[in-house]
């Protein structure tokens, strides 16, 4: 029977929320680097700088496909 991943519990050797927290902060394109920029005007935070630079012209948000007019660096504390 199917159960959503968040209801299955952590696999052996993994602590509860850590893996989900890491994935939540990962770039949606490469899934390796941490999200590090905010796309304007849409406001999505979904990409690392390297993947943003690799987007084809005209650059569009990978989440909503809106044109990216400006990019603001994201500083996590």
pLDDT tens for 24-74 read 899 999 999 999 999 999 999 999 999 999 999 999 999 999 999 999 999
Burial class (CB in 10 A: 0-12, 13-18, 19+), 39: buried
Among 59, 76, 77, CA closest to 68 = 59
Indicate if the pLDDT at residue 19 is higher than 80: no
List of domains in the chain: 17-73 (3.30.40.10)
Residue with tokens 């500083």: 75
- So what's the pLDDT on residue 75? 85
- So what's the pLDDT on residue 22? 76
- So what's the pLDDT on residue 23? 81
Q: How confident is the model at residue 14 (pLDDT cuts 50, 70, 90)?
A: very low
CA distance 2 to 7: 10
CA distance 57 to 19: 33
């Amino acid at each position: 029977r199917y159960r959503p991943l968040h209801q299955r519990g952590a696999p052996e050797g993994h602590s509860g929320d850590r893996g989900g927290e890491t994935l939540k902060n990962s770039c949606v394109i490469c899934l390796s680097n941490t999200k590090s920029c905010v796309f304007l005007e849409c406001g999505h935070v979904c990409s690392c700088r390297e993947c943003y630079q690799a987007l084809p012209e005209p650059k569009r948000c990978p989440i909503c496909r809106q044109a990216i007019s400006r990019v603001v660096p994201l500083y996590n504390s």
